[in-house]
Amino acid sequence: MVRSETGYAALVRSNVNFRRLWLGNVVSLFGDWFNTIALYSLVLSLSGSEFALGAVFITKMLPMALASPIAGLIVDRLDRRKVMIASDLLRAVIVLGFLLIDEPGEVYWVYLITAAQVVVASVFQPAQSSSIPNLVSRHELVTANTILSATWSILLTIGAAVGGIAADVLGLKMVFIIDSLTYVVSAWFIYRTRIPQHTASMDIGRASGSFPGIRLLQRATSDVLAGWQRMRERPQVGRMALAKATWGLAGGGLVYMLTLMGEEISPGRQAMAIGLLFAARGFGTGLGPVLARAWFRDMRVWPSLMGFCMVFSGVAYGVAGSLTFTFWVILPVVLAHTTSGANWVLSTVLLQERSEDRFRGRIFATEWLLFFLVDAASILVASLVLEFSGLSLSHVVLGFAFLQILSGVWWLHWVVPAEKSEGLV
């Protein structure tokens, strides 16, 4: 099925509600990447430990995964617009806690504050992903998701590069203040957005002798099981919900090791070097969806394309691991994430199209649960291997690159035949 899509500028210009949601994204993502590079630099400077740095990545993943079941319940049963506003305002307060961390003995606060930040953020992404089909028409869906993905990537590119420089020039504390302010501005844009929604009742029951929190967990568990059951009943939905997690088997560890590559490239200006490598990642993830939209309009080829993207991403990281760690590493990093960005957007669009609105929040929350659990496990393994095995960074990068290739091969030999058997490709 070949899609006829609205142009990028036409969608932003004509759809005021999508435009406002997008502008809120622009502002908050810029602050997020300022925050991220500063945080990695802070932990490296205070601890000097690969495992301590890996723990920051895991802290950004694992609480998000564990909160996903309740996030799905909230997103499907409350006003998604209000949920996103509340998430932004709470994060604006939470990130100011990083201002209090100055000594090596206070590093544990990084994990506590980061965990609080990502738990609150756990409802934002499913709420946004679930809202897009309600804001745009079917022939605008690929364009809308490509815009959001490209925005994430461009802001990663700009925010990481500028954030690394800002951390060196302005200091880490000013970077955290800027991040807090961006959440407030994002909340204002979303406040002005109108998002239609099919919302189910939030009745969580009044079981005798149970506390509201327990009832909420019981309902969340019930809803997760309902979401899983829905994906079992419709395997074409479940397969697309696995796409990001399949990439994350090796991708989590590889992205984590970008930070260590930056430290090796420029030990004296590590924030700047880390920022540039993450900027290369951002440029690639922005370019990939644009190229995929332009070259592969027939949705029937997308599942196969996603598998080849995973394979190519592993090959590109294999090249990066084979090079001496200089700024030349930027080129294969761009290529690796060009294909990962295409994989991300294509799987998101297919999942949005195949899932019903009343289940969509739970399905996306389940997708995030799977992705973050796998990503966190990948990072944990990479950090432990680097901390205790004695293997060089180059060897570990090569090992994870090979795992990335195997993930793509598995996708091509399992998912694609299943899609063909159901007449979807």
Beta bridge partners of 2: 298
Of residues 13 and 65, more confidently modeled: 13
Two structure tokens written together for 221: 């568990």
Of residues 181 and 283, more confidently modeled: 181
Two structure tokens written together for 115: 């965990």
Q: What rounded mean pLDDT belongs to the chain?
A: 79
- Give me the helices (H) in 266-356, please: 270-295, 302-322, 330-354
What's the residue count for the chain? Answer: 425
Two structure tokens written together for 419: 């899609």
Say what the pLDDT of residue 207 is. Answer: 45
Q: Check pLDDT > 50 for residue 201.
A: no
Q: Check pLDDT > 60 for residue 4.
A: no
Listed range (79-83, 246-250, 296-300, 340-344) with the worst mean pLDDT: 296-300
pLDDT tens profile 5-61: 567 788 888 888 888 888 887 887 777 777 777 777 788 777 767 778 778 878 877
The DSSP secondary-structure symbol of 298 reads B
Nearest to 98 by CA among 30, 25, 169, 171: 171
194 Ramachandran zone, left/alpha/beta (phi>0; psi -120 to 50):
beta
Say what the pLDDT of residue 402 is. Answer: 94
d(CA 355, CA 303): 17
Say what the pLDDT of residue 90 is. Answer: 92
The mean pLDDT of 189-200, rounded to a whole number, is 76
Look-up: residue for tokens 């307060």? 93
Determine phi and psi for 2, rounding to 5 degrees: -90, 130
Say what the pLDDT of residue 255 is. Answer: 87
Q: pLDDT band at residue 215, thresholds of 50, 70 and 90?
A: low
For residue 201, give the 3-state DSSP assignment: coil
For the chain, the domains span 13-195+213-421
d(CA 74, CA 83): 8
User: What is the residue-wise DSSP string for 356-412?
Assistant: -HHHHHHHHHHHHHHHHHHHHHHHHHHHHHHHHS---HHHHHHHHHHHHHHHHHHHH
Say what the pLDDT of residue 213 is. Answer: 55
- Please report how many Cα atoms fall inside a 13 Å half-sphere around the Cα of residue 205, on the Cβ side: 14
Report the percent of the chain where pLDDT is more than 70. Answer: 84
Nearest to 259 by CA among 103, 37, 6: 37
Q: Check pLDDT > 80 for residue 327.
A: no
Say what the pLDDT of residue 276 is. Answer: 80
Listed range (1-10, 115-124, 131-140, 306-315) with the worst mean pLDDT: 1-10
Say what the pLDDT of residue 317 is. Answer: 92
Two structure tokens written together for 378: 């990948």
Q: pLDDT band at residue 399, thresholds of 50, 70 and 90?
A: very high
d(CA 125, CA 242): 17
Say what the pLDDT of residue 403 is. Answer: 93
Q: How far is CA 211 from CA 77, 150, 205, 219, 353, in A?
A: 19, 43, 10, 12, 37
Say what the pLDDT of residue 404 is. Answer: 92
CATH superfamily ID and name for 13-195+213-421? MFS general substrate transporter like domains (1.20.1250.20)
Q: At what angle do helices 16-47 and 172-191 cross, to 10 degrees?
A: 160
Q: Check pLDDT > 60 for residue 340.
A: yes
Say what the pLDDT of residue 170 is. Answer: 74
Say what the pLDDT of residue 219 is. Answer: 66
Say what the pLDDT of residue 396 is. Answer: 92
Nearest to 116 by CA among 153, 87, 138, 142: 87
Q: pLDDT band at residue 221, thresholds of 50, 70 and 90?
A: low
Say what the pLDDT of residue 401 is. Answer: 93
pLDDT tens profile 301-314: 888 888 898 999 99
pLDDT tens profile 137-148: 877 877 887 788
Of residues 276 and 333, more confidently modeled: 333
Q: pLDDT band at residue 204, thresholds of 50, 70 and 90?
A: very low
Say what the pLDDT of residue 93 is. Answer: 93
Say what the pLDDT of residue 316 is. Answer: 92
The mean pLDDT of 316-325, rounded to a whole number, is 85
Q: Check pLDDT > 80 for residue 263.
A: no
Two structure tokens written together for 22: 């997008």
Two structure tokens written together for 147: 């815009």
For Cα atoms 131, 136, 139, give the angle at the middle one, nearest 5 degrees.
130
The mean pLDDT of 306-327, rounded to a whole number, is 86
d(CA 194, CA 183): 19
Say what the pLDDT of residue 398 is. Answer: 93
Nearest to 207 by CA among 196, 193, 218: 218
Of residues 233 and 194, more confidently modeled: 194
Q: Check pLDDT > 80 for residue 318.
A: yes
